[in-house]
Amino acid sequence: MRDERWLHVSHAPNDGNLRAGRCQFTGCHASTREMKPFCPNHVAESPYVKTILKTIRSRAKQVKKIAGGGPVPDDAHLFKELEQYIRTKGQCTIEGLAREFHLPSIVILRLVKAMSIVRFGKNIRKSITVEIP
């Protein structure tokens, strides 16, 4: 049986060249549902899915480097995500951020240390806290 979940991630941006209801993968003539550009077998060929997979891979690579003690890259898009989250939430603990971002505490700590706008503190349970004043 086909995995229906994949059908919902195939919303590729309309490039003006969408053949309605036919898979765009070369050589595949399967019909698609709801005008999707790719059939479930070729949804990974969609530019949208490719972009997401690339982002996930580059993020995983970055995290691995940072966890291993490598330099924290200036352009890490984790910075933006972290900054936005801390600004919205207010004071956060390193452990809380680690849980929220599904990252090891050491990676969070190294990232927030590289953010000059973050102020460190400790809460009553002696956990390291961060906030952006």
Binding interface with Zn ion (CB under 5 A): 23, 25, 28, 30, 39, 41-42
Q: In this complex, which beta carbon is closest to Zn ion, that of residue 31 or of residue 84?
A: 31
Q: In this complex, which beta carbon is closest to Zn ion, that of residue 42 or of residue 94?
A: 42
Smallest separation, CB 10 to Zn ion (Å): 11
Smallest separation, CB 28 to Zn ion (Å): 3
CA dist 20 and 36 (Å) reads 8
For 70-121, the DSSP string reads PPPPTT-HHHHHHHHHHHHH-SEEHHHHHHHHT--HHHHHHHHHT-TT-EEE
Q: In this complex, which beta carbon is closest to Zn ion, that of residue 36 or of residue 42?
A: 42
Smallest separation, CB 26 to Zn ion (Å): 9
Smallest separation, CB 91 to Zn ion (Å): 49
Q: In this complex, which beta carbon is closest to Zn ion, that of residue 25 or of residue 101?
A: 25
| Angle CA 26–27–33, to nearest 5 | 80
